[in-house]
Each structure stands twice: as structure tokens, then as C-alpha cells.
A and B are shown apart, each in its own frame.
Chain A
Amino acid sequence: MADAESNPDSLSSQVPRRGFMALTVLAAGGLIAAIYTIPGVAYLLGPALLSQKEETWLPLGAASKVPLGSPTLFKATVKRTTGWIVNEEQIAAFVLTEDGREFIAMSNICTHLGCRVRWIAERQQFLSPCHNGVFDKYGNVVSGPPPRPLDRYPVKEENGQLFILGG
């Protein structure tokens, strides 16, 4: 068998008739199996690998509405396509400014396991209700299980309107 593979010219002389038939059936069967398996795997994995989120600048509202020194929750509407269903979903961001010119926008999703954080004004901290994750005003972890600070959105101001980059 090894000889036949290394020197296909001598197939007829070295592989017996029955062996040749077996080889042919095996090759044809393998080809058919591949014709089904390769598209089948692409079909199953496709949506998991292809769905790329499209990021756009989402309007949050007037920059003048953000109070100085206190994180404030703003909501933006995004259009999300999942499979054949198009949904309008809301994403929320805490916007903080100290001087009315520089803005930061933080996601309200806890970096531990994805619960939504709340701003507790008296303590000047964000609190995640699920596992007591605590973040300071700028989203840095104070205590609890969160592995990293709150995620930030790129933010820009145009003609008095605030936008975040998300999707």
C-alpha cells in the first residue's frame, strides 16, 4: 500500500483488483463526506464568526444637560440586527464632566459579570448589586470582584450635542 502511494504509476501492477476497488470506494466516500462536512461546518459556525457589530456615533443629548462633577445616565438608541430580526435597543452610559468641556462616558455594565451599575450619590460611588462590585466616580475599581475599571466609550461634542461611539 505504501509503495502504491509513493509511486502511483505502478498502481496497476502492485495493487490487486479488490484493493483498487476498496481504494476507489474509500476515495469517493471521503469526497462525498467532505462535500457535506465543509459547508456544514461553515453553515453552523458562520453566524457566530461573521456577526461584526457596526459602530456609529450615537447622539446622547445636549452637552449642557450634564451636571458638573456628577455622573449622569444617558441613553442612546441603537439598531441591532440579530439573524433576520431588527431590534431597536437602548444602551446607557454615565457621562461625567468636571468643567463642562471635557467629557468621559462610561458603560453602566459591571466588568465582573455584566450586571448594571448604579450611581450612589451620597457615597460618590458606583455600586453593582450582584456581587457588591464598587467603582469610584471615574469608574476605577474600589472593592469587590470586578477585574478592571468600567469600560469607556469614545465621546465627542458637536454643536452642543454629545455623541458616543458604540453599536
Chain B
Amino acid sequence: MTLRFGTWLDERLGWRRVWEAIFLRKVPKVNWLYTLGSAALFLAVNQIVTGILLTVYYVPTPDHAWNSVQYITTQVPAGWLIRGLHHWGASAMVVVTVLHLLRVVFYGAYKYPREVTWLTGVGLLLVVLGFGFTGYLLPWDQKAFWATTVGTRIAGVTPVIGDAVLRILRGGEELSAVTLVRFFGAHVWMLPVALVLLLLVHLYLVIRIGISAHPRRED
């Protein structure tokens, strides 16, 4: 029955070819370090799912942000779990993405014909760091406030354009409601769009070109 339905659907969608291209492609004999990319992908899905759930209750204004986060953590069923997964998933995301990058560097996997995969990967790392930087402010507690004060001040010491960068990041001279809501907008709209676009190109290339084999002694 399910087989017949699968065939019915395949005649119309051609999904079996897509399935085979993604899951039944040939891979060289590699080690566990080659799973770091998949681990990062899993964490990205975790961040997307838990992040969407958090926006159901979170309010990005100075008078409600902290209270709504407390509400999620202490009142909503499983809210502590959803927030916890997003919180720890964020740190894991940065760690795993960096480890994935190191694996690619040390095995020389960024070389021809995978330069574009590498470039989109570097873009993805920057997006992940952007997520970390903007997400850190959103709970609007003392740690968030002062970390962002310091973080934006660091951007401010850039020669020549530093002052402009600082003002653009903060949306003004001081850290304020404007800062909070623009960090929120970046965190839930701009960065996710960038993440998904880069990720699609990255994954398409991984499937199209295949992953590089473990380098041999004579390479």
C-alpha cells in the first residue's frame, strides 16, 4: 500500500531520484570527523525549531523582554526545555561549526573543485557568529546588556568607520529599545534568510560534487 502510494507520488514528483541523490550517494571511506557538517546541520534545525517556538511568547521591548523570558522559563510547560535547547544549541553551534571548518582546513578539502562550498561555509560561520552576537542581547538581563555594550564598543574601535559602525549597530548613541528590536529583527529575519540561502547552496554543492576523500600519504 505505502509502496504503491510511493510509486504513485514518484510518477508525479520524481522524489525517488532526489532521495537517491541525497541519501544513497557514494561516499569515500572516511572517519568520524566527516560527520561534523551533519552535526552542524542538525544543530541548525534545532535552533530553527526552538527559535520559532520561542517567538510565540517572547516580546522584544525593554519593558517586556526580561519578563517574557522569565514567563517562558518558569510558567510555560516545557518552556525551560525549549529555551535550554536554544541556549545550549547556540553554543554548540559555534563550537561544531568551527570544528567543521578546522576539519576542512586540515584535510585540504577546500581545494578545487570545492572552493565555492568553502566560501559559502565561511559565510555560514559568519552568520552563526552573527546569530550568537544578536541572540545574546535578547534576554535583556544584566549580562546581555553589558555584553552588548562591550561588544558594540569593540566594533567602535575600528579605524575610521568605527564610530559609524557603533551607531549603526546600536541604532543611536546608546544601547536602547532601538538596539533591542533591531537585534531581534536581525536574529529572526535577516540572519535566518542568509543562513537558509547559504545552506542550500552549501548542501547542493556537497551533493553535486561529493565529499573529498581522506588525503593519502602521496597527496
Contacts and interface: CB of A to CB of B under 8 A. Distances in A.
| Number of chain B interface residues as a range | 10 to 19
B71 A43 contact: no
B56 A44 contact: yes
Contact of B78 (A43, A83, A85): A43
| Number of chain A interface residues as a range | 10 to 19
Given A83-B57, A84-B70, A43 B64 contact: no
B199 to A, nearest CB: 19
A50 B71 CA distance: 14
A85 B49 CA distance: 26
Interface string B73-96: 001111101100000000000000
A36 B84 CA distance: 13
Q: By DSSP majority rule, is chain B's interface helix, strand, loop, or mixed?
A: helix
A47 B76 contact: yes
Given A40-B53, A44-B53, A84 B76 contact: no
B78 A39 contact: yes
A43 B70 contact: no
Interface of A: 36, 39-40, 42-44, 46-47, 50, 83-85
A44 to B, nearest CB: 7
Nearest to A37: B49
Given A43-B53, A44-B56, A84 B67 contact: yes
8 contacts: A39-B77, A40-B49, A43-B53, A43-B78, A43-B81, A46-B76, A84-B67, A84-B68
A60 to B, nearest CB: 31
Contacts of A42: 77-78
Nearest to B78: A39
Contacts of B76: 43, 46-47
Contacts of A47: 75-76
Given A39-B77, A39-B78, A39-B82, 20 more contacts: A36-B49, A39-B81, A40-B49, A40-B82, A42-B77, A43-B53, A43-B56, A43-B76, A43-B77, A43-B79, A43-B81, A43-B82, A44-B53, A44-B56, A46-B77, A46-B79, A47-B76, A83-B68, A83-B71, A84-B75
